[in-house]
Structure formats: structure tokens, C-alpha cells
Chains A and B, each alone.
Chain A
Amino acid sequence: MTDTLLWYSTRGAGAVSMILLSAVVVLGVLSTMRVQSAAWPRFLTTGLHRNLALLTLVFLALHIVTAVVDPFTHLGWLAAVVPFSSYYRTFWLGLGTIAFELLAAIVVTSLLRGVIGQAAWRIVHWLAYASWPVAVIHGFGTGTDVLSAWFMVLAIVCVFAVALAIIIRLMQPPADPLASARNEFRVGVSRKSNP
């Protein structure tokens, strides 16, 4: 009874994590595009982005803890920390570990953004574009529910939403109205300081 409960928790929390993480990525892209309307102020995008990211961590913790504690696979805690150290489905579980650690790095640097500075924070935050696909591939590779219709529909919706957001972002010109003037100024300043 406890075993099946743990196993169902792992699968459910994994699926919820995938949905939440996809929503976080989409919201992150939307915030750089400065989406806004009368009913949707811009702080809503960044606020939801941050809070859903923290909520994702909660479900990921549930996903990982229930998987490790589950006596059927007896994965051990090392597999949750060191990628590709699990005897069980080594490659697919390793991808999950990597995705989780990338996400942990993004969240920790975001919480310490004021300390480490904007430039370092931004570099680490680009890892989001690595973490999300690795997490989704982990789900496709080892997910117990991959062949069930409900999971397929969810996964396709998630992948489609993120892909669409990224395509729209790539096609969108910079939203900063002074972007070109600002760049000229920065180039001018660096030329002056490095003769």
C-alpha cells in the first residue's frame, strides 16, 4: 500500500513539475517581451514567474524524495545528487538529476541576485533553456505514464507552448525603445576606457 502510494506520488509530482516548469519558462520569455494589457500588468508576469518557479521546487522535492524513498527501486540518495550514478535506468535518471541541479542553480542565484550582481545572475539564468528540455527528455525517457493519453496530451501542450514562446521571442525586436542609442553609448564608453 505504502509502496504504491509513493510510486503514484512520484509520477504525479513529476507530471505536475513538468507543467509548472513549462509555465515558468513561458512566463520568463513573456517577461522579456514585456507583455502587458489593461487586465495583465507587467509585474504579474514576473511575479507569477517567480512564485511558480518556487512552487515547482516543492513538487520537484516531492518527486525526488518519494522516488528515492520508494523501496521497490531503492535508488539511494546519491542518485538524486550525482548524475548517472544510479544503477536503475542510469541515463534517463541522470538527465533528471542534471535538470534538477541546473534549476537549483537558477533559483539560488535568483534569490541572491542582489549579492552576486545582474551580470552573473543573467548568465546562470540562461541555463533555464538547458534545464527545461533536459527535464522533458527525462520524462519521455523514463516516465511510467509516457504511453498514456493524458500524459501525452500534457507533454505535447507543454512542449508546444514553450516552443511557441521561444519562436515569438526570437522574432521579436528588442523591447527597449532606446536599445540602439544605449548600445552606441556603451560602445563609445568602452572605446574611451580602452584606447
Chain B
Amino acid sequence: MREGLHLSIDRIKCDGHGLCAELLPELIRLDDWGYPIIAPGPVPDHLLPLAQRAVATCPVLALALRRTAASK
């Protein structure tokens, strides 16, 4: 596992608002039902501010930045 901050999504909390994909299209896209698919690997440094904003904007607090990747 590479070092760095990873985006993790709580699938139970997520309601598919889709704000994260609007704010961070570099790493998050939406599936056919509007739920996020997150690019694997750590968040690159230059995208960290956008990732933090996406986390803060999630209406249901389903998105998080974690030191280690979430176990699948």
C-alpha cells in the first residue's frame, strides 16, 4: 500500500447526492445510479484541497479522507 491520504466512502450513509463528483471529477465519477466511484490510490498533493472540500461538502458526511485505504 502506498503512503498518503485516501478517499473512503461510507456506502451505507451515501445517498448519491453527487456533489463529490462535481467538486473532484479528477478522482470521483458517478455510476449509472448517481453513486460515486473513487479512483484507487492516494490523493495526489495538488488535489488535496479539492478533496478536503468534497469531504466537507458531502450532505450526509459519507466521504472521508483517511491515512490508510479503507479495506474492501
Which chain A residues have a beta carbon within 8 Å of chain B's beta carbons? 31, 34, 41-43, 46-47, 113-114, 117-118, 176-178, 182
Instruction: State the Cβ distance, A63 to closest chain B Cβ, in Å.
Output: 29
Instruction: State the Cβ distance, B56 to closest chain A Cβ, in Å.
Output: 8
Decide: A118 and B22 in contact? CB cutoff 8 A: no
Number of interface residues of B (CB under 8 A): 15
Decide: B15 and A114 in contact? CB cutoff 8 A: no
Q: Which of A31, A41, A114, A177 contacts B61 (CB 8 A)?
A: A114
Q: Which of A114, A118, A177 contacts B33 (CB 8 A)?
A: A177
Closest to B64 in A: A114
Decide: B61 and A42 in contact? CB cutoff 8 A: no
Q: Is B69 an interface residue (CB 8 A)?
A: no
Given contacts A118-B13, A178-B16, contact A46 B57 (CB under 8 A): yes
Decide: B16 and A43 in contact? CB cutoff 8 A: no
Given contacts A42-B22, A46-B19, contact A178 B33 (CB under 8 A): yes
Q: Which of B22, B34, B35 contacts A41 (CB 8 A)?
A: B22
Decide: B59 and A46 in contact? CB cutoff 8 A: yes
Which chain B residues numbered 10 to 37 have a C-beta less than 8 Å away from chain A? 13, 15-19, 22-23, 33-35
Q: Is B60 an interface residue (CB 8 A)?
A: yes
Tell me which residues across on chain A come within 8 A of B23, comparing CB atoms. 43
The answer for the CA separation of A10 and B18 in the assembled complex, in Å, is 41
A-side binding surface: helix, strand, loop or mixed? Answer: helix
Which of B23, B57, B59 gathers most chain A CB within 10 Å?
Answer: B59
Q: Which of B13, B22, B34, B60 contacts A43 (CB 8 A)?
A: B22
Closest to A189 in B: B12
Instruction: State the Cβ distance, A32 to closest chain B Cβ, in Å.
Output: 8
Tell me which residues across on chain A come within 8 A of B59, comparing CB atoms. 31, 46
Instruction: State the Cβ distance, A147 to closest chain B Cβ, in Å.
Output: 41
The answer for the CA separation of A117 and B13 in the assembled complex, in Å, is 12
Tell me which residues across on chain B come within 8 A of A117, comparing CB atoms. 61
Instruction: State the Cβ distance, A21 to closest chain B Cβ, in Å.
Output: 20
Closest to A117 in B: B61
Closest to A42 in B: B19
